Amino acid sequence: MNGPELRQDPTTKDWVVIAAGRAKRPHAFAESKPASSALTYDPSCPFCVGNEALTPPEVYRDNDTSGAWRVRVVPNKFAALTPDAKTERTEGFFRRAPGVGYHEVVIETPDHAGDLADLSVEHVARVLRAYRERQRALSLDPRVRFVIIFRNHGERAGTSLAHPHSQIVATPIVPAYMRRRHEIAERHFDDTGRCLYRDVQEAERADGSRLVEDTDGFMVFVPFASHVPFETWIVPHTLRPSFVLVTDEELDNLARVLRNSLRRLRACLGDVDYNYIVHSSPRKDEDEDYYLWHVQIVPRLTRPAGFEIGSHMSINTVEPEAAAEQLRAVRGEELS
Amino acid sequence: MNGPELRQDPTTKDWVVIAAGRAKRPHAFAESKPASSALTYDPSCPFCVGNEALTPPEVYRDNDTSGAWRVRVVPNKFAALTPDAKTERTEGFFRRAPGVGYHEVVIETPDHAGDLADLSVEHVARVLRAYRERQRALSLDPRVRFVIIFRNHGERAGTSLAHPHSQIVATPIVPAYMRRRHEIAERHFDDTGRCLYRDVQEAERADGSRLVEDTDGFMVFVPFASHVPFETWIVPHTLRPSFVLVTDEELDNLARVLRNSLRRLRACLGDVDYNYIVHSSPRKDEDEDYYLWHVQIVPRLTRPAGFEIGSHMSINTVEPEAAAEQLRAVRGEELS
C-alpha cells in the first residue's frame, strides 16, 4: 500500500481508515488471557447442570431423549430491559421512555468448558434454533420493535461468565444506528430496485480478494471497509430480511459455516476474544426485501481509543485482503 | 428507579439504556492496573528529555526561559493518516479515498511520570495552547475537513506509551457521526433559532441534578443520556463553534476546569482509565453558530460488548444523577 487509505462502508456510509503501516504483526495482538476453564462442571456456575434453580425460570429448553437439557434459555438476572419496567415517558428537552423489553441468556451447552467452536455441528444448529425460536417469541410482544442476538467470547469482549452462552435483547425502539442502516438499504432499493446486501455480496464475489468461503447457502467474507482486523461477515444466499424467517435447513448449514468461521479465527489468532451479532430487520419491516439478515463477527484485538470514541471512525491496522487470505488458508483438520 | 429506562441524547438522537439495577457498585469497576511510572525519566522513552531524536522533527515547541521545552508536538511515528499518502480514489461500489491527513502527538511535559491531573494549571494551559495552535495550523491545509483532539489515559483507553501525551488527527472527510451531530444541531437551529448545545446547557442548568460545576466561563455536567458511567462534559459559556477560536483567557480557565474534572474522577474512581475529546465543528463550518465546541470525558469503566457493537446503543449502569452527585461532592484539597 502507498500509505493509509480511507474506505467507505457501503452499508453505513462510514469511512474507515485502513492503515496497515500502523499494524503490529497479527501475533503481536495476542494478549495473555486466563485459560478458559478445563472443568466441565463448576459448582458455583448458575449455568451448569444441577444449578438450574440459580437462574430465573427457563423460557425455552431443548432436551435429549433422556430428558436432560442440551440448550436452555432463561431471562437475564441482571437484565438491561425488563417487560415490567415502570419508568415513565417524559417529553420535552429531556426525553425518557420506559426501559421495557427483554434480555435473555441462551445457555449453549451443559458443558462448562464446551466452547461453541468445539460443539458438534448438530449441537450448534440447536443453539441457532433456540435463537430463532426466542426471537420469534419475543417479536410477538407488540411493544418490541427490534431484536438483536449476540455472543460475547472472552473478557475483552465483555463476558462476565465463563460458561458458554449467548444473549438476546428485545428493545422497544429501533436503535438510531439500525434505522440508519435500514434507510441506506431502502434508498439503495429505491435507486436501483435491488437489495444493498445482495449487491455487496455480488460485488465481493466478483472481486474475490476478500472471500473466505462461498458454499452451502452462505458467503463468508472480510468486508471491504472492515472496521476492525479480521472482521468477518456471514451472509446467506437466500434473501430474507430477518433471522426469524430462516428455515431449518438454513440453520443446519449456518451451524457448519459459523463454526468454520470461528475455527478459522482461532487458527489464525489463537483463542481470540470476539463478539458476534445476528443482525435482523426491525420487527415491523420483516417483509421488506431490501434488508438481509447476516452474522457479523468482530474480533476484539484492538481497543477503541479517543479518536474512535470521538469521531466514531475506525482505524483498521490489517488490510481486509490480508486477513481474508489468512482465513481462507485454514483448511482440513483445523475445520473438521 | 422503577426498573431500567431509556433516555434520548438530544445531540445525537441515540437512545441510551440507563440500567442502574444492573450496576456494580462503583468500586467494583476498578481493575488492577499496572501502577503508572514513578520514574521521571525513562531512557527508552521517545518522549523523554534527551531522546528528542527518537521522534520525527517537532512541529511546535513551548520553551521555558532557559530554552528547555515544556510542551512539544511531533508527527506520530505510526500515523493513521499522512499528508503524502499516495493511495488512489476509486469510485463505484467500493469507494476508496487517499488517507491524506495529519496525526500528531502532543508531549505534555518532559516529566515521564507527570500526569496531566498533577501539572500546574499554568502548565495545563500551555498544553491547551499547543492544541489550539496545532489545530489552527492543520486547518490551513485545504485538504483538511475535520480536526479532532483527544487524550488516551491508561491501557483500557488505548494508550501504548506511558509518557503523558495527547493526540491530534486531521481527516480529509467529515466523519459520518460528526456530520449527523452537526445536522441535528442545524435542524434545531432552523426550528428554534437557537444553538442546540446552548439549549442543552440551559436545560441542564435549570434541572441542576447533573451539574458538577458552573464557574469561570465553563459548565461541567454529567449529560442526561450519558453513554457510560461518569461521562462528563465541559461546555463553555461563550458560544464558539470551534476550539480554534478560543481566547487565551478561556484557555486559562479551561485549564483549571479540566484539571478539576480529572481530579474529581480520580477522587471518585481512583486512577481510572479515560479518554477525553475536544469536539469542534468541521473546518468549513467554523462560522456556523449552531455548533459549540466542548470537551467530552469518557471513563473506561465498562467494556462495550455484543449488544453495544451490534446496535450502537449504550447500556449505562450508573444513573447520571448519582454520578454527578459524587463528582460534585469532591471539594477542597482534592481539587487544589
Give A257-303 pLDDT, tens digit per residue: 999 999 999 999 999 999 999 999 998 777 778 899 999 999 999 99
DSSP, collapsed to helix, strand or coil, labels residue A220 as: strand
Closest-approach residue (CA) in chain A for B305: A158
Q: Provide the pLDDT confidence category of residue A32 given band limits of 50, 70 and 90.
A: very low
Q: What does the alpha-carbon distance between residue B214 and residue A102 come to, in Å, rounded to a whole number?
A: 39
Q: Among residues B219, B197, B178, which one has the least CA distance to residue B291?
A: B197
A165 among known catalytic residues: yes
- Region A121-130 average pLDDT: 98
Interface test with chain A among B11, B94, B171, by most A beta carbons within 10 Å: B94
Does the beta-carbon distance from B87 to A3 stay under 8 Å?
Answer: yes
Contact check, Cβ <8 Å, B171/A311? yes
A216 DSSP assignment: T
Separation in Å, CA of A151 to nearest CA in chain B: 6
Collect all residues of chain A within an 8 Å Cβ-Cβ radius of residue B97: 5-8, 15
Verify whether the Cβ–Cβ distance B19 to A159 is below 8 Å: no
Length of chain B: 336
Residues of A with CB below 8 A from B99's CB?
3-6, 17-19
Chain A residues with CB under 8 Å of B305 CB are 150, 152, 157-159, 275
Q: For residue range A102-123, list pLDDT tens digits in order.
A: 999 999 999 999 899 999 999 9
Rounded-to-integer distance, Cα B77 and Cα A69, Å: 55
Candidates B213, B256, B149; CA nearest to A310 is B149
Angle at which helices B176-192 and B196-207 pack, to 10 degrees?
80
**Chain A to chain B, count of Cβ pairs less than 8 Å apart?**
245
Q: Which of A153, A165, A182, A188 is catalytic?
A: A165
Least CA distance to A13: which residue of chain B?
Answer: B176
End-to-end Cα distance, chain B: 35
Q: Are B293 and B11 in contact (CB under 8 A)?
A: no
Q: What pLDDT, on the 0 to 100 scale, is given for residue B284? A: 78
A197: helix, strand or coil? helix
Fold of B8-330: HIT family, subunit A (3.30.428)
Which three cell numbers mark B213?
460545576
Please determine, for residue A28, whether its predicted confidence score (pLDDT) is greater than 80: no
Q: Do A156 and B203 touch (CB under 8 A)?
A: no
Q: What is the pLDDT of residue B28?
A: 47
CA nearest neighbour of A282 among A183, A182, A146, A184? A146
Strands A314-316 and A15-18: parallel
Considering the candidates B103, B163, B165, B227, report the single residue annotated as catalytic: B165
Residue type, A316: N
* The three grid cell numbers given for residue B287, joined into one nine-digit string: 462560522
**Ranges of chain B whose pLDDT falls below 70:** 1-2, 22-37
**What gap in Å lies between CA A279 and CA A243, rounded to an integer?**
8
What's the confidence (pLDDT) of residue A334?
A: 81
pLDDT for A173-214, tens place per residue?
A: 999 999 999 999 999 999 999 999 999 999 999 999 999 999
Q: Residue B327: count other Cβ atoms within 10 Å of its Cβ.
A: 24
- DSSP track, A183-195: HHHHHHHHHHSS-
- Interface mutation target, options B177, B231, B294, B303, chain A, most CBs of A under 10 Å: B303
Asked whether residue A325 carries a pLDDT value surpassing 80, the answer given is yes
Q: Is the pTM of this model over 0.80?
A: yes
pLDDT at residue B288, rounded to an integer: 76
Give pLDDT, residue B31.
53
pLDDT in tens, B9-50: 999 999 999 998 765 534 445 454 544 567 889 999 999 999
- pLDDT digits over B137-161, tens only? 999 999 999 999 999 999 999 988 8
Interchain pair B6, A98: CB under 8 A: yes
Residues of chain A in contact with residue B155, where contact means CB-CB under 8 angstroms, are 303
Query: Would you say B293 and B246 are in contact if contact means Cβ atoms under 8 Å apart?
Result: yes
Q: Which residue has the higher pLDDT, A262 or A37?
A: A262
**pLDDT tens by residue, A149-161:** 999 999 999 988 8
d(C-alpha A299, C-alpha A156), whole Å: 10
Contact (Cβ atoms closer than 8 angstroms) between residue A146 and residue A171:
yes
Dihedral sign from CA coordinates of B54, B79, B111, B108: positive
Domains of chain B, residue spans: 8-330
Q: How far apart are CA A54 and CA A58, in angstroms?
A: 11
Contacts of B164 (CB under 8 A, 6+ apart): B107, B108, B109, B111, B114, B115, B116
Report chain A's terminal Cα–Cα distance, integer Å. 35
Q: Distance (Å, rounded) from C-alpha A254 to C-alpha A326?
A: 21
- Give the per-residue pLDDT at A326: 97
What Cα–Cα distance (Å) separates residue A246 from each residue in A158, A186, A273, B290? 28, 21, 27, 47
**Fold observed for domain A5-334:** HIT family, subunit A (3.30.428)
**Strand positions, DSSP E, B44-193:** 60-63, 69-75, 96-98, 102-107, 146-153, 165-171
Contacts of A176 in chain B (CB under 8 A): 12-15, 312
If you average pLDDT over every residue of chain A, what do you get? 92
Which chain A residues touch B24 with a CB distance below 8 Å? Answer: none
SS3 of A157, please?
Answer: helix
- Whole-number pLDDT of residue A86: 83
Nearest Cα residue in chain A from B181: A311
